[in-house]
Structure formats: structure tokens, C-alpha cells
Structure 1
Amino acid sequence: MTSTGTTTATGPLAPTGAVRARTVRLGDVSDAEAERWADLVDRALEPNPFLSPAYLLTASRWLARTAGIVLVVVERDDRMIALLPLSRGGRFHGTPLRCATTAGAFLKDDSPLCAPLVDAEHAATALDHLLRFLADRRNGFPPLVELTLLPGDGPLHDALHDACRRARVTLLERSRFERAVLDRSSAAPPPREALSPSKRKQVERLTRRLEEATGATLRWEDRGEDPQAFQDFVALEAAGWKGDAGRDGGALQVTPGAVEWFTDVTDGLRARRSLHLLTLVAGDDVVYMSLQFAAAGSLFSLMDTYDERFARFSPGVIGRVMEQEHVLERTTADRFDPCMHPKNAGPTALYRDRRPLVGVVLATRGVLPRLLLRSVPALRGLRTRVARTPREIVEDAT
């Protein structure tokens, strides 16, 4: 592992032994280190399979746009307790200061969640050392660090804000939106009952007609443990409109390197029993498929597809509603995230719950970066910064 900087501490923040932070280029991670990284995914305060080695590390083998990603890792003894991927950004919104960002060429387009991996058991220690490392100019990071697609509530959100207060790091919230999810703890009615009356009747009518057309009852199969199932997914997707390169469908088969990369992704997640490929079938016909990743008690559906022979029955609508019912009835997942942008209003309306996602910028050191953050006119209305006294600001400048 290539390190570009290290800080070590043995004070009260370290539970046992020394805690250290360092950087490593994504392509330099060894097999043993990747295994420790994968273990952290299973212990993360905020579940995020898109920062797992099965997803991110395998991308570096096939996709050139991962070049430049540096991992900031915090370790205690031989255990990773935090991991944050960063890329060099440009100048921050017209200021003379540069920033590091999670929204690099790869993650901004291919990761629907960029929440750093933080050990749930040692969250305060991990975040304190992460911020301390980023604040040390000897490590080569600029004083502004942009974190995108973070949860706008929950334990990681609270832990990060608390750590910024302890470190006297200014935090500015740049963006916020709500994304559709399914939360087991929600007090809302079951997924089908939570639909509007007209939408519920439509789903039931389409389901009946699809079953009549196929002569079979719809049922789910989880084919996550079958390597051939992913190849079937790729073929089904390519056979539909997404496989038409002229229509910019974006199917895996028409995107250079995507099939090879996702074959690695699914193989890696399958080996850790973290892959589900839900397949909605009617007799011998595959109607709809949804690729799900599991992480620390949550499920994420990054992509789905359907057989366009059944397009008149809206199999995507039927599949998404029945998928939610399957998650609640046949799994123990606390949350299901379909990773759907809210601009997709129709599909978003099929989900009863919402979760806020935010983008923030941290001013990790120096008075000037903090003042510049406060002076950006376009961000004034969205600013949520850590409360600091005039005395603290003066002490920082000395």
C-alpha cells in the first residue's frame, strides 16, 4: 500500500493501541487490505455498497475514469475503521481555493451514495482522526473538502456534525434533496396500500392482465447465487430499448468495460453473500429483474430491466411494487433504496418513504477558507455551518 502521509495517535481517542490515518491510491490496494476494507463495509455506520472493494476497487481494473482516486483510510491496529475516497477538484465556485471531492469522474456518475465508510462501533474515533488528517497540510490535501450524496439525517449525519464541532471544522451544506426509499420502521401503510387509489387499482389490473396473458401466477425467484443469472440480466437488458446505442439507452452491453466490470462486481458480492438478483417470473417467462446489493442491513437496487414483450402491462411498475412487498415479507433489511433520482417522478411515486441526501463542504483549516465559504453568494441561503465563537476564530488564526 502506497502511503502519502500518516498521522498516529495513542491518546484518549484511541480505544486500544494506536490509531493512524493515511492515503493510498485506489489501484495500489493489496488483496489483504481489500479484505479488511470489505469487513468495514459490513460494520459501517451508514451502509454503502458503492464504496465496497467489490464495487469501487474492481472499477479501477476496467474503467479509466477511476484514475486519480485516493483513499483516505483510518486504521486501528490491523482493522480499518474509516475509508473516504477523494479526487482532486478544481477551484471551488469562483474562489481562489482548490478542493478535494468525492464527486470525481467516476463516483459522480456511478455511485448513487458517497457516504464514507465509518465503523459504527468507533465512529467518533474514526471521524476525529479523519478530520485531523485532512487538516494537516503536510498530507497534500487542499483546505476545502467536498462530500457529496451524504445522508441528510441518521447516525452518520449526526456523527459527522459532532466531529466537526469537536475539530472546529466549518461545515457548509450546499445541496439537499429527497430520494425515494422503503423503511421498515415507517409508520406508513404497506407499499401497495400506500399508493393512491387510482395507482393501486392500475397495478392490480395490470397484474391480472399479465397473468392472464402468460397463463401463470407471478412469483419471485432470488437468483443471486447463480453466476449465470447476471448474464441473463445483461442479455435481457440488451434486448430492450436500453440496448439501443442510438437511443443512448446505457445498457451494460453497449457501455465499454461495463459488462466486465459488473461481472467482477457481482462475483465479489456473491462471494460475500451480498448479491441478490430478484427475478419476477410467470411460468417459464422472465418478466422483470432487479439487481440488489446488500450492505450492513440495507438493500440497494442499482439497476433493473424487463422483457419488452410484456411492455403493455407496465412490468416495471408491477415489479417495483412487488419488490417492496418482497423486501418487507421475505428479508430482514431495515431499508431498501432503489437509488432513483427524484426527477423520475413516476417511479418515485411508487415508494412510500423519503430520505434526504445532502452535499457538504468542509473547511478543514485556516481562517480564509472559512470566510470564503461564508462569502459565496449562491450558497448563503443553504449554509449550515458549525457554530463557532469569535474567540475560537481568533485562536485559529494564531
Structure 2
Amino acid sequence: MTVATSAATRSPDPYTTLLDATVADLTAEEIQRWRQLAHEAVEPNFCLDPRFLMPAVAHHPYAAGMRAVIVEREGRMVGFLAYARLRPWRYIPLSLATTATPFLNDHADRHHPLVAAQNPAEIVDAILAALRRRGMPLWAQLRFFPSDGVLAEALAHQRSLLVENQFQSAVDRSVGSPSGTPSVDVIDIVDAADHLSASRRKSLRRRMRSLEREAGAPITARLWTPDSGTLTDFLNFQASGWKGDRSRGGEAFLLDPVDASWFSAMMQGFIDDGDARAISLTCADRLLYLALSVRSGAARFGFIDSMDDDFSRFGVGTIGRIVEMMLLRSESTPRLPLDPALGAGADQSAAIYPDRRSFADVWVARQPWLHAARHPLTVADDLLARVVRLYRSLRHRVAKTVKPLIGRD
């Protein structure tokens, strides 16, 4: 691993903080410690699971230079944060450390760090202290950081923090014993989603019966552990609809061989560990909906889904996500919370889930006096405005001095 190891880059005991670790240079032993942390993290995050990121580093140029802050204690990795250094303002010489790396910004809606369950506040302190060290940018941006829960509590006493862009995402926090294997009949499954109102379930039943009449067969659901063939089926199914048409804004994986390679390698890692699930809806032999989810630590995450465009007017996507939630409830032992990993603006999709969780962008200032600024861009704008005012003032003074001289002998 390529890291700076001088005293200036290490935090005080009992924690050792490695700053500017290059993710691509991590050794097999370090990756194993990272995997253990992802498994035990107090706030699981599949987007920072090595099974998600290491294939990206291997296959995707956007992830090639990804860096990390790594916190260790007594030979165990207890904190991990992926980030990049960027210069977001073209004409202003200010850099930014951000978790919205070129890869994560395009492929992930969860950026929060992996933190061990023991003393999480101290570990978050060590991560933030690393981001504030001399030589780091004036600001660090932690995108999509939880606004509630253990990590949010760890930030409560911190100074020099700015919080903005808060939004609510969906989650199914139902835990406890599995609910038993439901019927493969989709109408029965949706009827069992008692967190939905009676009127909403009635509307969904009406849509499903209309779909069955048009398709000429009942809708059935299936939950299984995918294999490489399932991944190929998903790639082809996704590309067969509008997502496979670039002119319509489609971003199917198969449109970019790099994305397709990363997707297959990443999902295969979760499949090999038994931590991937596939859910499908079919009418007779016609595939209507296909979704892939993964487990990281003590949580499940909805990763990607796709549907048959010909049946979108029946709300196949909504029905499919409800079925995914209900089938995963029945399968987990013990039942695990499900995070569908929805981003900001997905209010319609979020409405079908029983619980909500808040996220926000958190700005970490290197110096306390920067806390007075509302936003790093505010400081950049202020600096630029001062330069413009100074230029105009000098130009005015020069004009006043030169004008009386014009026309003199």
C-alpha cells in the first residue's frame, strides 16, 4: 500500500490513521481486514465494501486513482473512507477532498464511511482529523452522510461542520423472525404488505389483474441465488428496453463495456460469498421484472433492477420492488433491514417502503474560522468578487487620473 508513514501522517495512539492510501495498492492482507470491517460495520455500506470497490479499481478508469483514509487499532481496520481530491472550480486554485469520487458519484448513492461498532465516535474523530491535516484541502465533502443513527451521533460534537442538501430515502427496518415463505402468486404477496394502505393495495391489485388479462397468465414471483448466467440475462434484459437506447438517455451497462465488466466482476464477488439474491416477475414465459440485491454486513441493499417497457403502464417497477422487499423479509434469518439505496429525488419509489432515513452532505472545514462560510463556493465567490471590485476600483482611479491629462499640450 502506498501511504505516507511519517509522524505527520499518523494520529495519536490508540489509533493509527493512514492518509492518502491508494486503494489499488492495498495488499491482500489489508483487503481481508477491510472485508472484515465491512462485515462488522456499525452502519453497513455495500458501496464501500471491497467486493464493490476492488472490481471498480481493476476495471474502471474512474476508480483508478481512488484514495482512502484508513484507521487501524491493534492490527484491526476500524475505519475506512474512500475519497478523491478534485478542483471543482476551473479558475479558482482551491481543491476539495470529497467522497463523491468520479466513480462513486456515478455509481453509488451511499458514501458514508465504514466504522467499527466499538467506539464509533472516536473512529469518526480520527477520520475527520485526517481530513483536516496540513497538506489536505481546506474542505472535505462527505456526501450522502446519514443524518440519524450512530454515525450522525458521532458528528454531533464536531466543530467546523456545514450541513446541506438534506433528503429522505426509503428503508425497510423490519427485523425479527422471517415471515415465512409467501405464495409465489404476486397478488398474495402484495396483499401481505400491510404497511401499505388498503386503498393502495386495492389499486395495485387492480393493476395486476389488468396486467394478467393482457398477458394471458398469472404473475408469479421467484427468489433465488443468482449465477453468472443470471448476470448475462440481466444485462440483456436491461439493454432490451429504453435503457439500452443512448438517444433516449439510456445507461444500460452493455452500452459501455467497462461498466459491463465491472458489473459482472462485482456481482460475482457477492455471488461467490452467497450474498446476492435475484427476484423476478414473470407471466407464463415472459420476463416482466428482474432485480438484484446484495448483502453487506448486517443489511441488504437493493442494487439494480429493470423491467419490460411494454408493461410499464401497469406499474411493474413498483410491484416488483414491493415483491422484492416481501420476499427478502421471508428469506433472511434473522431478518435484515433492507436499504433500496435510493438517491435524492426518488420520492415516488420511496413511497412503497415503510420507513424513512435522512441523509445530507456534510462539509468538514480544516480550520474553525472557515465555519463562518456557508459553503466553500461562497468563499470562492467572495474571493472572486473582491478581485473584481479591486480591479474596477483601480480602473476607476486610473481613469480619473488620466482623463484630465487628455488634450493637454
Superposition TM-score, scaled by structure 1 size: 0.81
Which of 113, 135, 151 pairs up with 1:156? 151
Kindly indicate whether the alpha-carbon contact (under 8 Å) linking 1:230 and 1:277 is maintained by their aligned counterparts in 2: no
**Do the aligned partners of residues 221 and 172 (structure 1) sit closer, same or farther apart at CA in structure 2, a change above 3 Å counting?**
same
Within a 5 Å distance, the mapping from 1:289-368 to structure 2 comes to 289-331=290-332, 332-364=334-366, 366-368=367-369
**Do the aligned partners of residues 94 and 327 (structure 1) sit closer, same or farther apart at CA in structure 2, a change above 3 Å counting?**
farther
- Partner in structure 1 of residue 139 of structure 2: 144
- Partner in structure 1 of residue 100 of structure 2: 103
Kindly indicate whether the alpha-carbon contact (under 8 Å) linking 1:46 and 1:118 is maintained by their aligned counterparts in 2: yes
**Do the aligned partners of residues 211 and 44 (structure 1) sit closer, same or farther apart at CA in structure 2, a change above 3 Å counting?**
same
Question: C-alpha separation between the residues in 2 aligned to 1:375 and 1:221?
Answer: 47
The residue type paired with residue 167 of structure 2 is F
Question: C-alpha separation between the residues in 2 aligned to 1:113 and 1:278?
Answer: 22
In the alignment, structure 1 residue 123 sits paired with structure 2 residue 120: yes
The range that moved more, 227-236 or 93-102, is 93-102
Which of 18, 23, 26 pairs up with 2:20? 23
In the alignment, structure 1 residue 181 sits paired with structure 2 residue 171: yes
Task: Give me the identity figure in percent.
Answer: 30
- Partner in structure 2 of residue 381 of structure 1: none
Question: C-alpha separation between the residues in 2 aligned to 1:85 and 1:233?
Answer: 28
Kindly indicate whether the alpha-carbon contact (under 8 Å) linking 2:225 and 2:271 is maintained by their aligned counterparts in 1: no
The residue type paired with residue 244 of structure 2 is G
Question: C-alpha separation between the residues in 1 aligned to 2:165 and 2:344?
Answer: 14
Question: C-alpha separation between the residues in 2 aligned to 1:154 and 1:99?
Answer: 26
**Do the aligned partners of residues 91 and 63 (structure 1) sit closer, same or farther apart at CA in structure 2, a change above 3 Å counting?**
closer
1:267-324 C-alpha deviation (Å, 9 max, x unpaired): 1112222211222334544321111121222221121012345445432122112222
Question: C-alpha separation between the residues in 2 aligned to 1:195 and 1:93?
Answer: 48
1:197-237 C-alpha deviation (Å, 9 max, x unpaired): 4432221122234445353451222233x221111111111
In the alignment, structure 1 residue 215 sits paired with structure 2 residue 217: yes
1:109-137 C-alpha deviation (Å, 9 max, x unpaired): 21110011111124234223223333331
1:168-222 C-alpha deviation (Å, 9 max, x unpaired): x411112201112222169xxx973443544322211222344453534512222
The range that moved more, 151-160 or 200-209, is 200-209
Kindly indicate whether the alpha-carbon contact (under 8 Å) linking 1:230 and 1:263 is maintained by their aligned counterparts in 2: yes
The range that moved more, 146-155 or 19-28, is 19-28
The residue type paired with residue 39 of structure 1 is Q
Instruction: Report the 3-state secondary structure (helix = DSSP H, G, I; strand = E; otherwise coil) of the residue aligned with 2:118.
Output: helix
Question: C-alpha separation between the residues in 1 aligned to 2:175 and 2:378?
Answer: 39
Which of 80, 83, 86 pairs up with 1:86? 83
- Partner in structure 2 of residue 4 of structure 1: 4
- Partner in structure 2 of residue 388 of structure 1: none
Question: C-alpha separation between the residues in 2 aligned to 1:111 and 1:220?
Answer: 26
Within a 5 Å distance, the mapping from 1:45-60 to structure 2 comes to 45-60=42-57
Can you give the 5+ residue segments of structure 1 that lack an aligned partner in the other structure? 379-398
- Partner in structure 1 of residue 394 of structure 2: none
Question: C-alpha separation between the residues in 1 aligned to 2:246 and 2:266?
Answer: 23
The residue type paired with residue 227 of structure 1 is S
Question: C-alpha separation between the residues in 1 aligned to 2:209 and 2:108?
Answer: 36
Question: C-alpha separation between the residues in 2 aligned to 1:250 and 1:260?
Answer: 14
The residue type paired with residue 155 of structure 1 is V
Question: C-alpha separation between the residues in 2 aligned to 1:34 and 1:159?
Answer: 25
Kindly indicate whether the alpha-carbon contact (under 8 Å) linking 1:173 and 1:361 is maintained by their aligned counterparts in 2: yes
Query: Pairwise CA RMSD of aligned residues?
Result: 2.9
**Do the aligned partners of residues 97 and 161 (structure 1) sit closer, same or farther apart at CA in structure 2, a change above 3 Å counting?**
farther
Instruction: Report the 3-state secondary structure (helix = DSSP H, G, I; strand = E; otherwise coil) of the residue aligned with 2:254.
Output: helix
**Do the aligned partners of residues 64 and 191 (structure 1) sit closer, same or farther apart at CA in structure 2, a change above 3 Å counting?**
farther
The range that moved more, 43-52 or 306-315, is 306-315
Instruction: Report the 3-state secondary structure (helix = DSSP H, G, I; strand = E; otherwise coil) of the residue aligned with 1:22.
Output: strand
- Partner in structure 1 of residue 402 of structure 2: none
Question: C-alpha separation between the residues in 2 aligned to 1:194 and 1:65?
Answer: 40
**Do the aligned partners of residues 154 and 232 (structure 1) sit closer, same or farther apart at CA in structure 2, a change above 3 Å counting?**
same
1:35-84 C-alpha deviation (Å, 9 max, x unpaired): 22111111111110001111122112222222432111011233211111
**Do the aligned partners of residues 340 and 127 (structure 1) sit closer, same or farther apart at CA in structure 2, a change above 3 Å counting?**
closer
- Partner in structure 1 of residue 162 of structure 2: 172
The range that moved more, 270-279 or 78-87, is 270-279
1:151 Cα offset (Å): 0.9
Question: C-alpha separation between the residues in 1 aligned to 2:26 and 2:376?
Answer: 39
The residue type paired with residue 177 of structure 1 is F
- Partner in structure 2 of residue 391 of structure 1: none
Question: C-alpha separation between the residues in 1 aligned to 2:92 and 2:45?
Answer: 32
Kindly indicate whether the alpha-carbon contact (under 8 Å) linking 2:24 and 2:65 is maintained by their aligned counterparts in 1: no
Can you give the 5+ residue segments of structure 2 that lack an aligned partner in the other structure? 177-190, 380-409
